[in-house]
Amino acid sequence: MTTDPWPISVGGLLLRDARPDDIEPLLALRNDPSVNRFMLVTHVDPDTFRRRWAAIPDSDTDFHCVAELDGQVVAMGFLDVVDGMGQPGMPKRTEGAIGYIVHPAHSGRGVGSDLARGLLAAAFDGLGLRRVTASCNADNPASARVLEKAGMRREQHGVQDSWHADLGWVDGYQYALLAHEWTALAAARL
Protein backbone atom coordinates (compact mmCIF):
# COMPACT_ATOMS: atom_id res chain seq x y z
CA MET A 1 0.00 0.00 0.00
CA THR A 2 1.27 3.46 -0.93
CA THR A 3 1.90 5.97 1.85
CA ASP A 4 -0.80 8.62 2.34
CA PRO A 5 0.65 12.00 1.26
CA TRP A 6 -1.62 14.08 3.51
CA PRO A 7 -1.54 16.47 5.28
CA ILE A 8 0.20 19.13 3.19
CA SER A 9 0.16 22.88 3.73
CA VAL A 10 0.37 25.09 0.67
CA GLY A 11 -0.34 28.79 0.57
CA GLY A 12 -3.03 29.27 3.19
CA LEU A 13 -4.52 25.82 2.63
CA LEU A 14 -4.30 22.64 4.61
CA LEU A 15 -4.83 19.61 2.38
CA ARG A 16 -5.91 16.61 4.43
CA ASP A 17 -7.83 13.36 4.35
CA ALA A 18 -11.60 13.73 4.45
CA ARG A 19 -13.31 12.96 7.74
CA PRO A 20 -16.78 11.39 7.95
CA ASP A 21 -18.34 14.77 8.80
CA ASP A 22 -16.89 16.26 5.59
CA ILE A 23 -18.74 13.90 3.23
CA GLU A 24 -22.22 15.47 3.19
CA PRO A 25 -20.92 19.03 2.58
CA LEU A 26 -18.61 17.65 -0.15
CA LEU A 27 -21.55 15.87 -1.75
CA ALA A 28 -23.60 19.08 -1.69
CA LEU A 29 -20.69 20.95 -3.31
CA ARG A 30 -20.18 18.24 -5.95
CA ASN A 31 -23.87 18.33 -6.94
CA ASP A 32 -24.21 22.12 -6.84
CA PRO A 33 -25.37 23.15 -10.36
CA SER A 34 -23.28 26.34 -10.26
CA VAL A 35 -20.17 24.23 -9.62
CA ASN A 36 -20.99 21.54 -12.18
CA ARG A 37 -21.28 23.78 -15.21
CA PHE A 38 -17.91 22.56 -16.46
CA MET A 39 -17.98 19.01 -15.06
CA LEU A 40 -18.65 16.31 -17.65
CA VAL A 41 -20.75 14.47 -15.08
CA THR A 42 -23.10 17.13 -13.75
CA HIS A 43 -24.62 15.05 -10.95
CA VAL A 44 -23.25 12.17 -8.92
CA ASP A 45 -25.26 9.50 -7.15
CA PRO A 46 -25.09 10.25 -3.40
CA ASP A 47 -24.58 6.63 -2.32
CA THR A 48 -21.84 6.06 -4.90
CA PHE A 49 -20.14 9.29 -3.83
CA ARG A 50 -20.24 8.29 -0.14
CA ARG A 51 -18.91 4.78 -0.88
CA ARG A 52 -16.05 6.14 -2.99
CA TRP A 53 -14.90 8.57 -0.29
CA ALA A 54 -15.28 5.88 2.40
CA ALA A 55 -13.02 3.54 0.38
CA ILE A 56 -10.16 6.03 -0.01
CA PRO A 57 -8.27 5.03 3.18
CA ASP A 58 -7.99 1.45 1.85
CA SER A 59 -6.98 2.44 -1.69
CA ASP A 60 -3.45 2.54 -3.05
CA THR A 61 -4.49 4.58 -6.09
CA ASP A 62 -7.06 7.10 -4.81
CA PHE A 63 -5.72 10.04 -2.80
CA HIS A 64 -8.61 12.50 -2.81
CA CYS A 65 -8.44 15.20 -0.16
CA VAL A 66 -10.19 18.23 1.23
CA ALA A 67 -8.73 21.72 1.35
CA GLU A 68 -9.23 23.77 4.49
CA LEU A 69 -8.79 27.52 4.76
CA ASP A 70 -8.94 28.93 8.28
CA GLY A 71 -10.52 25.69 9.52
CA GLN A 72 -13.27 25.68 6.88
CA VAL A 73 -13.44 23.17 3.99
CA VAL A 74 -13.36 25.28 0.82
CA ALA A 75 -12.49 22.73 -1.87
CA MET A 76 -11.89 19.09 -2.70
CA GLY A 77 -8.93 17.71 -4.57
CA PHE A 78 -8.65 14.58 -6.65
CA LEU A 79 -5.41 12.65 -7.08
CA ASP A 80 -5.52 9.26 -8.74
CA VAL A 81 -2.52 7.08 -9.47
CA VAL A 82 -3.06 5.67 -12.93
CA ASP A 83 -1.22 3.34 -15.25
CA GLY A 84 -0.14 4.76 -18.58
CA MET A 85 -1.39 3.72 -21.97
CA GLY A 86 -0.48 0.06 -21.50
CA GLN A 87 2.67 -0.21 -23.58
CA PRO A 88 4.40 -3.54 -22.93
CA GLY A 89 6.95 -3.21 -20.13
CA MET A 90 5.76 0.23 -19.04
CA PRO A 91 6.34 0.65 -15.29
CA LYS A 92 3.14 0.59 -13.24
CA ARG A 93 1.97 3.26 -10.79
CA THR A 94 4.19 6.02 -12.18
CA GLU A 95 1.52 8.42 -13.42
CA GLY A 96 -1.24 10.42 -11.83
CA ALA A 97 -4.23 12.56 -12.69
CA ILE A 98 -5.41 15.52 -10.64
CA GLY A 99 -8.58 17.58 -10.45
CA TYR A 100 -10.35 19.92 -8.07
CA ILE A 101 -13.62 21.58 -7.17
CA VAL A 102 -13.53 24.92 -5.35
CA HIS A 103 -16.51 26.23 -3.42
CA PRO A 104 -17.92 29.22 -5.38
CA ALA A 105 -17.61 31.51 -2.34
CA HIS A 106 -13.83 30.97 -2.46
CA SER A 107 -13.16 31.04 -6.21
CA GLY A 108 -10.93 33.74 -7.65
CA ARG A 109 -8.77 33.93 -4.52
CA GLY A 110 -5.97 31.51 -5.40
CA VAL A 111 -7.55 28.51 -3.66
CA GLY A 112 -7.60 26.49 -6.90
CA SER A 113 -3.96 27.27 -7.73
CA ASP A 114 -2.77 26.45 -4.21
CA LEU A 115 -4.82 23.25 -4.26
CA ALA A 116 -3.36 22.23 -7.64
CA ARG A 117 0.18 22.92 -6.36
CA GLY A 118 -0.58 20.82 -3.28
CA LEU A 119 -1.89 17.97 -5.40
CA LEU A 120 1.28 18.13 -7.51
CA ALA A 121 3.45 18.14 -4.37
CA ALA A 122 1.60 15.08 -3.10
CA ALA A 123 1.98 13.34 -6.46
CA PHE A 124 5.67 14.04 -6.99
CA ASP A 125 7.13 14.53 -3.52
CA GLY A 126 4.77 12.28 -1.56
CA LEU A 127 4.03 9.46 -3.99
CA GLY A 128 7.10 9.65 -6.24
CA LEU A 129 5.15 9.78 -9.49
CA ARG A 130 6.89 10.48 -12.80
CA ARG A 131 4.13 12.32 -14.68
CA VAL A 132 0.84 14.01 -13.73
CA THR A 133 -1.97 15.12 -16.02
CA ALA A 134 -5.06 17.27 -15.59
CA SER A 135 -7.93 18.11 -17.90
CA CYS A 136 -10.38 20.96 -18.10
CA ASN A 137 -13.16 22.19 -20.33
CA ALA A 138 -11.76 24.61 -22.93
CA ASP A 139 -14.60 27.01 -22.14
CA ASN A 140 -13.40 27.24 -18.53
CA PRO A 141 -10.54 29.78 -18.62
CA ALA A 142 -10.39 29.94 -14.81
CA SER A 143 -9.51 26.25 -14.59
CA ALA A 144 -6.92 26.58 -17.36
CA ARG A 145 -5.33 29.48 -15.41
CA VAL A 146 -5.26 27.36 -12.24
CA LEU A 147 -3.31 24.62 -13.99
CA GLU A 148 -0.95 27.05 -15.71
CA LYS A 149 -0.27 28.94 -12.46
CA ALA A 150 0.52 25.61 -10.82
CA GLY A 151 3.22 25.11 -13.47
CA MET A 152 1.53 22.62 -15.78
CA ARG A 153 1.87 22.91 -19.54
CA ARG A 154 -0.95 22.54 -22.03
CA GLU A 155 -0.26 19.53 -24.22
CA GLN A 156 -3.50 19.14 -26.09
CA HIS A 157 -6.58 20.98 -27.27
CA GLY A 158 -9.06 18.25 -28.05
CA VAL A 159 -11.74 19.54 -30.40
CA GLN A 160 -15.15 18.21 -29.35
CA ASP A 161 -13.39 15.38 -27.55
CA SER A 162 -15.71 15.10 -24.55
CA TRP A 163 -19.42 14.57 -24.06
CA HIS A 164 -21.01 16.94 -21.54
CA ALA A 165 -24.37 15.89 -20.06
CA ASP A 166 -25.96 19.31 -20.70
CA LEU A 167 -23.85 20.92 -23.42
CA GLY A 168 -23.18 18.02 -25.81
CA TRP A 169 -19.73 17.79 -27.43
CA VAL A 170 -17.21 20.19 -25.88
CA ASP A 171 -13.55 20.97 -26.38
CA GLY A 172 -11.08 19.99 -23.70
CA TYR A 173 -7.56 20.92 -22.68
CA GLN A 174 -5.05 18.37 -21.40
CA TYR A 175 -2.21 19.56 -19.15
CA ALA A 176 0.82 17.66 -17.88
CA LEU A 177 3.95 18.01 -15.78
CA LEU A 178 6.94 15.72 -15.28
CA ALA A 179 8.72 15.14 -11.98
CA HIS A 180 11.94 16.83 -13.13
CA GLU A 181 9.92 19.88 -14.23
CA TRP A 182 8.26 19.98 -10.80
CA THR A 183 11.68 19.87 -9.15
CA ALA A 184 12.88 22.75 -11.32
CA LEU A 185 9.76 24.79 -10.51
CA ALA A 186 10.26 24.17 -6.78
CA ALA A 187 13.92 25.23 -7.01
CA ALA A 188 12.94 28.41 -8.88
CA ARG A 189 10.45 29.33 -6.12
CA LEU A 190 13.19 29.20 -3.47
Amino acid at the residue 185? L
What letter does residue 41 receive in the DSSP assignment? S
The model's pTM = 0.93
Amino acid at the residue 19? R
Domains of the chain (ranges; CATH) run: 8-189 (3.40.630.30)
CA distances from 28 to 44, 50, 109, 169 (A): 10, 11, 21, 26
Weakly modelled stretches of the chain, pLDDT under 70: 1-2, 84-86, 190
Annotate 134-176 with three-state secondary structure. EEEECCCHHHHHHHHHCCCEEEEEEEEEEEECCCEEEEEEEEE
For the stretch 148-186, pLDDT in tens is 999 999 999 999 998 888 889 999 999 999 999 999 998
